A and B are shown apart, each in its own frame.
Chain A
Amino acid sequence: MNSIQITINDQVEHVADQISLVHIIELFSLPELGCVFAINNEIIPRSKWHETRLNNGDSISLFQAIAGG
């Protein structure tokens, strides 16, 4: 299986081609509650996490709700 290079919050990772976002979450033990993903600055709705597949060079940004005023 071909490997692709992606970044998760600027950290470079190598993963299988066409891996789904849901698998990425499992693979890197990423938080889910109160989280939102953007791929190449496009927000991915939670309902699309299963069908969203990663391509070489994709940049994943992961944001999470934190304490704040």
Chain B
Amino acid sequence: MLTIGDKQFQSRLFTGTGKFSNSQVMAQAIKESGSQLATMALKRVDVNNQDDDILKPLVMSGVNLLPNTSGAKNAKDAIFAAHLAREALGTNWLKLEIHPDPKYLMPDPIETLAAAEQLVKDGFIVLPYCHADPVLCKRLEEVGCHAVMPLGAPIGSNKGVVSQDFLEIIIDQAKVPVVVDAGIGAPSHAARAMEMGADAVLVNTAIAASVNPVAMAKAFKLAVESGRLAFESGLASQVSHAVASSPLTSFLDEI
């Protein structure tokens, strides 16, 4: 069982709600994924042109909500967005994300650390999206973040766990849960992250932008469970030469 802050999770698959074709598919996919934590964003309402209500199906499904600070370009924006989100959704859980550059969406480490420190003091359960930087993750933990969410690859890139070597260091050092966020494009990537000992993964695009998001959600559920079980079972070690699995007796020579 995974514990973050005051909540326990049976599912180690966290999901995003963006990019689905409609809210019914989104709600069905999240249900099928077994996820107990789903991200949401916040935006200024266009008074004359209001969006689909996606909140109702999510609330009805019972999933915990994790509002993000997407759109924030610095710590000040993110702190304001966090307080807006807490009031709008009635939760003090927060995915802190600050990425000023729209091309690569790289998280700004300096602004993220500053915002995290303040938001922890303001009573938030802070899960910061950050680069796979072991030093930064340690600093985020030290200011009181309840988990760290280093990236596997750029947001929406589907490239997988390209930051593997650094994630391994982060997982080794962390005293808070490590959630691999961003870049996971296939169930095998999610399984890989879980085999490495990640506590959870956060997946959005790979499910939402697939041909059959509901079935893909299930594929991710199974992969995350499989990867976790493999980690808990202790993977056999790799060697650079062959080691026979069957006894190499010479009985054929004796015929």
Contact = CB atoms under 8 A, between A and B. Distances in A.
Interface of A: 8-9, 11, 28, 30-31, 33-36, 38, 41, 43, 45-46, 61-69
Interface string B43-87: 111111011011110000000010110100000000010011101
B16 interface: yes
A65 B67 contact: yes
A61 to B, nearest CB: 6
Contact of A43 (B16, B48, B55, B84): B84
A45 B90 CA distance: 10
Interface stretch (B18-26, B107-115, B159-167): B18-26
B55 A34 contact: yes
B213 to A, nearest CB: 13
Interface stretch (B34-42, B168-176, B244-252): B34-42
A57 to B, nearest CB: 18
Contact of A33 (B16, B44, B55, B65): B55
Given A68-B41, A69-B18, A69-B19, A36 B84 contact: yes
Given A34-B88, A36-B84, A45-B87, A67 B46 contact: no
Contact of B68 (A30, A31, A64, A68): A68
B87 A69 contact: no
Given A68-B68, A69-B204, A34 B89 contact: yes
Contacts of A41: 80
A15 B70 CA distance: 33
Chain B interface residue number, banded: 35 or more
A8 B89 CA distance: 21
Given A30-B45, A68-B41, A43 B54 contact: no
A10 B85 CA distance: 20
B68 A69 contact: yes
27 contacts: A9-B47, A11-B47, A11-B48, A30-B47, A34-B55, A34-B89, A36-B42, A36-B84, A41-B80, A43-B83, A63-B44, A64-B42, A64-B51, A65-B42, A65-B89, A66-B43, A67-B17, A67-B18, A67-B23, A67-B54, A68-B39, A68-B41, A68-B70, A69-B19, A69-B39, A69-B41, A69-B68
Given A33-B53, A69-B155, A62 B18 contact: no
B33 interface: no
